[in-house]
Structure 1
Amino acid sequence: MLRKALKKTTQHKKITEFLKKYNIPQEYFAANRKMISRGVLIGLFIAFIPMPMQMAAVVAVTPFIKFNVPVAIAMCWLSNPVTMPPMYYMEYLTGSFFLGIQPEPVELTLEWFKNNLSKIFIPLYVGTAFYSVFGSIAGYFLVNWLWVKSVKKEQKNK
């Protein structure tokens, strides 16, 4: 169902005219299994990284890898002001576990972050690397599996 909606939307006249007008390659809006899966992979990878301008990072990757850019940008929105604190805290705890260090008790104040950034930086990014790599790979394979399952179900119903 979603697969058909994506294909129909990307082939809409206004979208194709927009892509032609600004000379944007159509591959960046392609709605096939390969491009959608790659979009999920790139988007989730970047979504787990604590950094500003994640959507700009998605666009910066486009010259090197072909993927569905709108899907990747949508995946970046998984880390938003509501989800960031628990995501980054989970990444910090995971990084501390992997490094074998005792995590600092966290306070959600700017003063605490200014004073403790040097202590939490490495554990945070170790946890970030773990979730970025494994979360994006899991998302990639999940989308591939769901896409194939959807196609097989549709063929079976015909």
Structure 2
Amino acid sequence: MLKKFIKRFLPSHQKVKEQKVLSIFGTLLHDPNLWHLNRRSAAGAFSLGLFFAFWPIPLQMWLAAALAIPLRVNLPLSIATVWLTNPFTMPPIFYGAYLVGASVMGLPPQDFTFELTWDWVVQSMETIGPAFLLGCMICSIIFSAIGYFSLNFLWRLSVSKAWKERVQKRCPKNKLVK
């Protein structure tokens, strides 16, 4: 079942509560709805995490946690999904977002080389920045919606399959359920 698969990879709510980074949320983390894993909370959390994963800013996890609390979606899943963009996956994902933005703006993709300097960041925001930020926004919205509906569909499919298996076990001669 999908719920068991997701739970296997999520940290316990005690581990998340102990994170010093999340201490700014105080007692808000004690809401049991933030730790409950059902179809609605999982799909919402997955969507929320994907939404912030495409934002090229630091502290994406804080933003995902800050919105998971009022939306009452699964907090650990929303935080974990943000890590889709990690130091290894960021370059290809953000380059893809830049290409999306450039194609939407009708600009030819520019060749550039990455430098780890503040001057390069400032200079690149003037040249490739608008296309990059537009691409990040578009990817953020599209992948968030795809993630929500996909996880919702997979969850329903998983529950339906488990239900049919239970019915088949109880009534093996029942030919109505296949």
Amino acid aligned to 1:113? V
1:29-44 equivalent positions in 2, closer than 5 A: 29-44=35-50
The aligned residue for residue 153 of structure 1 is 161
The aligned residue for residue 119 of structure 1 is 127
TM superposition score normalised by structure 2: 0.76
TM superposition score normalised by structure 1: 0.85
Which deviations, in whole Å up to 9, do the C-alpha atoms of 1:37-86 show, x marking residues without a partner? Answer: 00001000000111101101112213431111100111101000000111
The aligned residue for residue 112 of structure 2 is 106
1:124-135 equivalent positions in 2, closer than 5 A: 124-135=132-143
The aligned residue for residue 169 of structure 2 is none
The aligned residue for residue 84 of structure 1 is 90
CA RMSD of aligned residues (A): 2.6
In structure 1, runs of 5+ residues without a counterpart are none
Q: Which entry has the higher C-alpha Rg, 1 or 2?
A: 2
Q: 1:142 to 1:23 in 2, by over 3 A?
A: closer
Q: 1:157 to 1:89 in 2, by over 3 A?
A: same
Which deviations, in whole Å up to 9, do the C-alpha atoms of 1:116-155 show, x marking residues without a partner? Answer: 2211221111111111111011011111111111111101
List 4+ stretches of structure 1 deviating above 3 A: 4-10, 12-15, 111-114
In structure 2, runs of 5+ residues without a counterpart are 19-26, 167-178
Could you tell me the percent identity over the aligned residues?
33
